[in-house]
Amino acid sequence: MHFMPFKPIGAVALAAALVLADATFEADELVAPGAWKPREGPEGWNIVETDRLHVQSQISQAKTNRLVEHVEAMVGLYASVLPARHAPRNLVVKLFEDQTSFENYGRRVPGVLAYADLSVPEIVAYDGGRLLAQRDIPARIRFAPRASVVLMPDERAAIETLFEDITDAYVHDLADSLGHEVWHLYFNAVSNGRPIPLWLDEGLADVFAPARPLGSDAPAPLDAEQLNVHRLRDVRRAVIERDTIALRALIYFDARDFARDPQLAYAMSWAFTHFLVHHEEPRRRAIVPAILKGLIDGIDPETATREVFADADIDFELLEREWKVWVRTRPLHDPLEELAERFGDRLAPEDLAAPEHWIEMYAWYVSRR
C-alpha cells in the first residue's frame, strides 16, 4: 500500500434538497440518530443526499451546499489514499445551527465543533461561525471591560486589527472539523470496524483536516507545507517547554492515556504522523501505509505498530530528536504572538477578554518576551 496522488472530483451535483414537514414538538426531542426518510425529521431541517452522503442540516442552504461539496471531495480524497473494494455510502452528517442545540443532542465536550459517533454511525457538528476560511461572527478577543492599558489611537486600531487576525487564526473552521471526522467514519467503514491505533487515527484525521481538494489541481493532502496550525501551535509550545510525551509511549496510547492530556496527545499525534508521512527517508515514509495495510489485513493495532516500527529499524531516541527539530523549524505566524511581541509590555492578559485558551497562550507569549 502507498499513498496515491489525489485528483479532485470537481463540483458535486446535489441529488436532492428536501425541506422536511412541519413538526409540533420541540426540535431537540425530534432529532433522531442516523439517517432519516424524507419528511421524517423536525421543522427547519433540510436533507441533502448524494451518492455518498446523507446530510441533515439546520444551517442555511447555501452553507449546507458548500459543506456537502467539500465533504464529498474529502470522501473522494480518502478513497484515493485508502482504496476500498466497496466505497462507503450514505455517510450520515448532522449539522446543528448552534452549540446549544448540538450539545442538547449529544456530547458536551468543551471546544469540540464536531464528533463521529461510530455506534450509529454518524457525524454530528454545529456552525461555529467559520466555514472554508469565511467568518461570519465578530472577533472573539477584545479589550476587557476594566482594561487599564493606555494606548494611542493608532495603537488601539492596530490591536483591534490583530484581534480580527487572531479570531481568524484561532476559530476552528467547520470544514476542517468535518474533514477530520469523515476520516474516522471512512476508515471504520472500509476496515469493517477494525480498531486503529489512536495516535494514528487522530494523527491522520488532523493531517487531512486542512485539505481543500475541491477545485484544486494540487495533491492537497500530500503537501508537506500544508500544516495543521492549531496542532502546530500546541506541539511547538510543548517542545519548547520540554513537556512532551515520549514517542515510543505515544504510539501505544489508549483512550484513557489520551484523556490525561488530550490537547498535547492530539497535537503530538498530528505532528508525528505528518512528520512520518512526509519524511524524506523512504523507510520512515512507509511506516504509516504499512500499519494501515496491516490493520486492513486483520492484524491487531499493537502488533501492527510494533512489527512495522521494528521492520523499519527505528532508533526512537534519534527519531525523537529529529522530530523535535522538525517541530521547532516549521513556519508558523501566530497573530497572538505578534500581539504579545508588539504590545505585551503594556497589554496584560487581564486586559483581554477571550476564550480561556487564547488568554493562557497570550500570557505564555508575554512571558517569553
Cα–Cα distance for residue pair 366/369, rounded to 1 Å: 5
Backbone angles phi and psi of 275, in degrees to 5:
-55, -45
Residue carrying C-alpha cell 505498530: 305
Q: Locate cell 486503529: which residue? A: 196
**Per-position b or e across 266-305, b if 16+ CB within 10 A of its CB:** bbbbbbbbbbbbbbeeeebbbbbbbbbbbbbeebebeebb
Mean pLDDT of the chain: 87
φ/ψ region of 103 (left if φ > 0, alpha if ψ in -120 to 50, else beta) reads alpha
- Which residues does residue 131 pair with via DSSP β-bridges, in sequence order? 134
The residue written with cell numbers 450514505 in the block is 90
Average pLDDT over residues 76-104: 89
Residue 283 located in a structural domain? no
Which is more confident, 66 or 9? 66
Note whether residue 3 is domain-resident: yes
The predicted pLDDT at position 21 comes to 27
In a domain, 87, yes or no: yes
pLDDT of residue 249: 97
pLDDT at 19: 31
Domain-embedded: residue 65: yes
CA 1/CA 292 separation, integer angstroms? 8
Question: pLDDT grade, residue 277 (50/70/90)?
Answer: very high
Residue 240 lies in a domain: no
What angle do the packed helices 287-296 and 262-277 form, to 10 degrees? Answer: 110
- pLDDT band of 107, cuts 50, 70, 90: confident
| Closest C-alpha among 352, 368, 369, 367 to residue 170 | 352
Residues 71 and 11 sit within 8 Å (Cβ to Cβ): no
* pLDDT above 80 (res 45): yes
In a domain, 298, yes or no: no
Longest CA–CA separation in the chain, Å? 65
From CA 70, how far away is CA 213, in angstroms rounded?
8
pLDDT at position 18 over 50: no
The answer as to whether 321 is a domain residue is no
Q: Let me know: does 142 contact 163? Beta carbons within 8 Å.
A: yes
Q: What is the CATH number of the domain that holds 98?
A: 3.30.2010.30
Q: What pLDDT score was predicted for residue 77?
A: 87
Taking residues 313-320, report their average pLDDT: 94
Question: What is the tally of structural domains in the chain?
Answer: 1
pLDDT of residue 192: 87
E strands, the chain, are: 16-19, 46-49, 53-57, 91-96, 114-117, 122-126, 130-131, 134-135, 142-143, 352-353
Is residue 4 over pLDDT 50? no
pTM over 0.75: yes
Any domain includes 291:
no
Q: Identify the band that residue 10 occupies on the pLDDT scale cut at 50, 70 and 90.
A: very low
Q: Choose among 174, 183, 36, 29: nearest CA to 118.
A: 183
Question: What is the band of 83 on the pLDDT scale with cuts at 50, 70, 90?
Answer: confident
Local confidence band at 39 (pLDDT 50, 70, 90 cut-offs): confident
pLDDT at 281: 93
Q: What's the domain range around 98?
A: 1-133+174-193
pLDDT confidence of residue 110:
73
Question: Any idea what DSSP says for residue 349?
Answer: G
Identify the band that residue 42 occupies on the pLDDT scale cut at 50, 70 and 90.
confident
Phi-psi bin for 313: left (phi > 0), alpha (psi -120 to 50), beta? left
State the average pLDDT over residues 61-65.
Answer: 95
